[in-house]
Amino acid sequence: MVLMNGVGTVYWFTGLAGAGKTTLAGIFTTRLRAAGRTVILLDGDALRRAFDDDLGYTREERLTSAMRNARLCRLLAEQGVDVVCATISLFHACQEWNRANIASYREVFVTAPFDVLAARHPARLYGGGATAPASHVVGVDVPAEEPQRPDMTVVNDGRRPPAAVVDELWTELGL
């Protein structure tokens, strides 16, 4: 059954761990709901716990996970639901698939300087601190394929509060 409001939009928030995707996507989702939109928030970590317990963290397994997320987003959007998906998924193949297969797709690349990423990430993925960096980390030992044509690039370096970053995003996306 398709909802009366037609095809939903997929807002794909992508970037490295610690860039602030989940925080920004949560605020953005709240704004969409306040505007009367039917919206669901999908976070990459929660999606992995729900659907990807058969996968590890190699490049190939991460790509498989990203493609599962993309197909789920398309399925929900086809039912008339807006979907905000916050996931690393820095693969050109996934980004290209989304553009070709999701009728209403908006890509938001969230970026931050490496030192900010390292300071934000409690798991110490990027090295430093008492523990060694983890293996299979996107941007460290798994290459990150930054979006080639994002609808918007957001620098989330902590100089502005997240709500101000979402204000800019909201305006730039014409919402």
**What are the angstrom distances between the C-alpha of 97 and each of 42, 66, 77, 86, 138?**
18, 11, 15, 17, 20
Chain-centre distance of CA 45, in angstroms? 10
The answer to whether the beta carbons of residues 14 and 148 sit under 8 Å apart is: no
Give dist(CA 78, CA 147) in Å, integer: 24
Beta bridge partners of 138: 142
Please tell me whether residue 4 adopts helix, strand or coil conformation: coil
Cα-Cα end-to-end distance for the chain: 26
Q: How many helices (H) and strands (E) does the chain have?
A: 6, 5
Catalytic positions are 89
